[in-house]
Amino acid sequence: MSTLRFYAIKKTLNRKPVHIEEKQRRSEIFGANVFNEATMRQFLTKEAFNSVMAAVETGAKIDRSVADHISTGMKEWSISKGATHYSHWFQPLTGSTAEKHDAFFETIGNGLAIEKFGGTQLVQQEPDASSFPNGGIRNTFEARGYTAWDPTSPAFIYGTTLCIPTVFVSYTGEALDYKTPLLRALFAMDTAAVAVCKYFDKNVKKVNTSLGWEQEYFLIDSALAASRPDIVQTGRTLLGHSAAKGQQLDDHYFGSIPARALAYMRDLEVECMLLGIPVKTRHNEVAPNQFELAPIYDEANLAVDHNSLLMDVMHKVAERHNFRVLFHEKPFAGVNGSGKHNNWSLTTDTGINLLGPGKTPMSNLQFLTFFINTIKAVNDNEELLRAAIASASNDHRLGANEAPPAIMSVFIGEQLTGVLNELENVTNGKLSPEEKTELKLNVVGKIPDVLLDNTDRNRTSPFAFTGNKFEFRAVGSTANCANPMTVLNTIVAKQLRDFKLEVDKLIKKKEMKKDDAIFNVLRDYIKKSKNILFEGNGYGEAWQEEAAKRGLSNHRTTPEALKAKVSEKAIKLFEDMGVMNRIESESRYEIEMEDYILRIQIEGRVLGDIARNHIVPVAVQYQNRLIKNVKGLKEIYGKDFKKFAQEQLNLIEDISGHISSINSDVTRMTDERRTANLIEDFEIRANDYCFKVKPLFDSIRYHCDKLELLVDDELWPMTKYRELLFTN
């Protein structure tokens, strides 16, 4: 009997839900460990408080002398909450968060010590940046990098550490993190959107980007996960035959949450409340042992920080419940993978959702302006948007039955398609009073009623309008939301800026009225953006053929998709909008390509090890049992033994064939990997890993999975899908 596998199963079956006791209402503990507005009012001087609020609301700089007052208040608050250390908490280009803890404790001589935390420590630190990805921006021996406080995202206490959200930049000023370009993109969006809002409401002074992410994940018992080397090292199963029962009965989706999983969720939600993460929704997802949680929408920068923090917290809470959280986009073949749908919208400081229709024709024209400009931005930058969600893990999900295809398209529903068709026929030039009245009453004016009935939701669309927001569904579950949010906000900001220039030009040069100019430009955008609109099923060759006719890209792999990030068009876009310079764009491209290479390399090594050191020896062991059985039958029945041993002989032959194929494929894969590793050009090396190394994974897996069906269950060393997915 395979000791580890069955030990893990036995251990899992004996687990009990962890008791979670909630003594307070969640509203009472929400943000208790966050240095938020209420806490700042209590611990900061009026001058310090006003300085922080000005930085948050208008981007004003905080004077260093005021920073000392802020740091003192922050220190006193955090120590009162049990904190002993502080850390600049940032998001390097590794895909995870980073932190270095420093104690408040300092000696002052004569055997005395104090707790110290000054404005300098709050505002800036110099972590050793030598081992973080930099894409050639700096040499390894040049270790200096800077973290700088981001006051728009409040500090928080986790455990006994005060965590201060920061940006992370190189000695020469280039961004080495996800937050810095996002903040620049959000500033560009604010500037461009406010300018357009002035057409409709002169009182608008600020536009915030709102983000509501939906985090999908799998929960696997920690003992079962530990029994699988592939899960431990890659976060997914590299082999394993599908269980007889998967998700085909649709009995897990929105079903009763298993007791252990529910206890985990409750514990997690309490931690989230303390950290000010406004989680609201929890439910079973489609695949067995797959779940989802979602928060209330928040300002995009804060929402990104919350999601990055949440993923850390989920892992830590899982340990208390003897679970392993899997964020990989496709941890199990044959069942649904996991995404992180990014619900995106724009909100004014006057309280208006710019992607939500209002009660008047003017407010609906404003809605149409932002709605159509977003579609135009996606149409003109679909390759860049695809690159924003490219990764080795998301490649497994995109195009699978439950996920959007790799082709970017926009779903808006039949009713809004009809509205755009009406607007497409607007007169070129000045509109007659009758046409204006008709448009405002029967087209623009009816939009709220149209949306009321627009309940269809195309699950195969990568980018769908869902009532008062756009849902970027192609984002992968492991992704840092900052990456797609940076791209989306940059392209829409650029589009809004261009729109403003075109409208102003018509008003000035052709002496059009504002409404006439807006209708004319929107009509032109609708005609130019038709190719990106798609209402049908995103699967299959029919849509691929249609998309090709429309000139839409279909980059199925990460190395193909990422090239859009360093096209001259993309580099110019980011530079023009002040989001990234050429060096930053090119470095990110190199980092993401290297990440792809390394992940495929690791998976190849793990798969080769499992196949040769776990699967083949057990197959040989079982084959020897069969051979011994055949020999015994021959001793009993003599020359007639084949009559009784034919099935065993067939099994021996089948096993030999699979063993032979595994060994030859692993050898080929290893050789291809070694060849690829010698290639200096990272683009060529990535392509070799993608098109020469990775395809051999499927063949190796096929033969291993066939052996799983042939070999005695008690001998099989790898925890099976039926155990991983249905033991909870």
C-alpha angle with apex 689: 687 to 695, nearest 5 degrees? Answer: 110
Residue 403: other Cβ atoms inside 10 A: 25
> pTM value?
0.94
Residue 281 pairs in a beta bridge with: 294
Beta strands in 432-503 (DSSP E): 463-465, 470-472
DSSP class per residue in 161-191: EEEEEEEEEETTS-B-BSHHHHHHHHHHHHH
Most confident of 242-246, 542-546, 587-591: 587-591
What's the average model confidence in pLDDT over 632-648?
89
What's the average model confidence in pLDDT over 231-250?
89
Q: What is the largest CA-CA distance in the chain?
A: 105
Rounded CA-CA distance 391/488 in Å is 17
Residue type, 148: A
Question: Residue 452: pLDDT band by 50, 70, 90 thresholds?
Answer: low
Q: Would you state the torsion angle of the CA atoms of residues 666, 669, 675, 679, taken in this order, to the nearest 10 degrees?
A: -140
Phi-psi region of 459 (alpha: psi -120 to 50; beta: other; left: phi over 0): alpha
pLDDT of residue 455: 43
Question: Residue 672: pLDDT band by 50, 70, 90 thresholds?
Answer: very high
Rounded CA-CA distance 264/262 in Å is 5
pLDDT of residue 110: 85
Determine the straight-line distance between the first and last CA of the chain, rounded to whole angstroms.
22
Nearest to 610 by CA among 693, 724, 704, 708: 704
pLDDT of residue 78: 96
- The per-residue pLDDT for range 173-195, each reduced to its tens digit, is 889 999 999 999 999 999 999 99
pLDDT of residue 113: 82
Rounded CA-CA distance 664/670 in Å is 10
Residues 6+ apart with CB under 8 A from 19: 263
List the domains of the chain with CATH numbers: 31-176 (3.10.20.70), 186-580 (3.30.590.10), 595-725 (1.20.120.1560)
* pLDDT over 70 at 138, yes or no: no
pLDDT of residue 475: 96
* pLDDT over 70 at 453, yes or no: no
pLDDT of residue 1: 46
C-alpha angle with apex 314: 312 to 320, nearest 5 degrees? Answer: 115
pLDDT of residue 538: 74
**What is the average pLDDT score of the chain?**
91
pLDDT of residue 459: 66
- Between these two residues, 448 and 142, which has the higher pLDDT value? 448
For 102-128, the three-class secondary structure string (H helix, E strand, C coil) is EECEEEEECCEEEECCCHHHHHEECCE
pLDDT of residue 144: 61
What's the average model confidence in pLDDT over 93-97?
88
Rounded CA-CA distance 379/383 in Å is 9
Query: Minimum mean pLDDT among 201-215, 408-422, 685-699, 705-719: which range?
Result: 408-422
* pLDDT over 50 at 141, yes or no: no
What's the average model confidence in pLDDT over 79-108?
91
- The per-residue pLDDT for range 25-37, each reduced to its tens digit, is 999 999 999 999 9
Rounded CA-CA distance 236/373 in Å is 39
Q: How many CA atoms lie within 13 A of 638 on its CB side?
A: 1
Rounded CA-CA distance 90/149 in Å is 10
Query: Minimum mean pLDDT among 171-180, 396-405, 637-646: which range?
Result: 396-405
Q: What percent of the chain has pLDDT over 90?
A: 72
- The per-residue pLDDT for range 487-546, each reduced to its tens digit, is 999 999 999 999 999 999 999 987 789 999 999 999 999 999 999 999 887 777 888 899
Rounded CA-CA distance 273/313 in Å is 12
* pLDDT over 50 at 140, yes or no: no
Rounded CA-CA distance 489/346 in Å is 10
* pLDDT over 70 at 658, yes or no: yes
Query: Minimum mean pLDDT among 244-253, 486-495, 633-642: which range?
Result: 244-253
Beta strands in 309-401 (DSSP E): 323-326, 340-348
